[in-house]
Amino acid sequence: MIYGYARCSTNEKLQDINRQVRELKQQGATDETIYLEYESGAKTDRAELNKLLKTVTVGDTIIATEVSRITRSTKQLCEIIEFAKEKKLKLVLGSFVVDCSKELDPMTEGMLKMMGVFSEIERNIISQRVKSGMENAKAKGKTVGRPSVKADDIPSAFYRHYPKYKQGQLTKKDLSRLCELSYPTVYKYLKIIEEANHEG
């Protein structure tokens, strides 16, 4: 079975994850076998990635458009390589193919780990730039970040379909389509409603 994993940070555009999905489908993944995640690549405990790793079985293939989509943590990348060796999986990360169904060539493994190191460095540089930019903006008296969304800001259409989602009749993908909302917005609204219900 061929599985795809597409990830973008919540502050990236929706088009980015759609582009990844298109590329994953071109390589044999389907809507049913593609896992979508809206989290930072530095976060090691990610719900959709965890689901994917629990789903794959011996001989399966995992595809991502590049190493940084799977993770920006070198430590986690090493753990995923070890997992792939145990399960005898094939990893296709962009143009880089790592076939763990047979003995993994040390040069290939070394190259993959180096790519992971560069991905982590890139993420740290971006993070540093963002923090520096925010500090400069604050120093100039500008408001930083988006205004926070409250339960009152959620459209009525979302509340109308929410009960069906809770009963398992609709998926997050259905909510996105029915309410004409992006995936990150659906995740955000669900979190707000569930937190409000929890407090209530």
**Mean of per-residue pLDDT scores for the chain:** 82
**Interatomic CA distance for residues 181 and 165, integer angstroms:** 15
Which residues, other chains included, contact 100 with Cβ-Cβ below 8 Å and sequence gap of 6+? 81, 84, 85, 87, 88, 89, 90, 91
Distance CA(113)–CA(119), nearest Å, equals 10
Q: Look at the pTM and tell me if it is higher than 0.75.
A: no
User: Mind listing the pLDDT tens digit for each residue in 133-174?
Assistant: 667 767 776 655 555 667 777 888 888 888 888 888 889 888
- Model confidence pLDDT, tens digit, residues 7-58: 987 655 565 788 999 999 999 999 999 999 988 877 888 999 999 999 999 9
Enclosing H/E stretch for 37: strand 34-37
CATH code that applies to domain 2-118? 3.40.50.1390
Domain ranges (residues) in the chain: 2-118, 151-199
Residue 155, CB-side half-sphere exposure with 13 Å CA sphere? 11
Is residue 73 part of the annotated active site? The answer reads no
Structure tokens, 23: 């590329």
Catalytic residue (one of 9, 40, 101, 182): 9
Q: Give the CA distances from residue 27 to residues 4, 17, 99, 104, 167, in Å, rounded to whole numbers and listed in that order.
A: 9, 16, 16, 22, 34
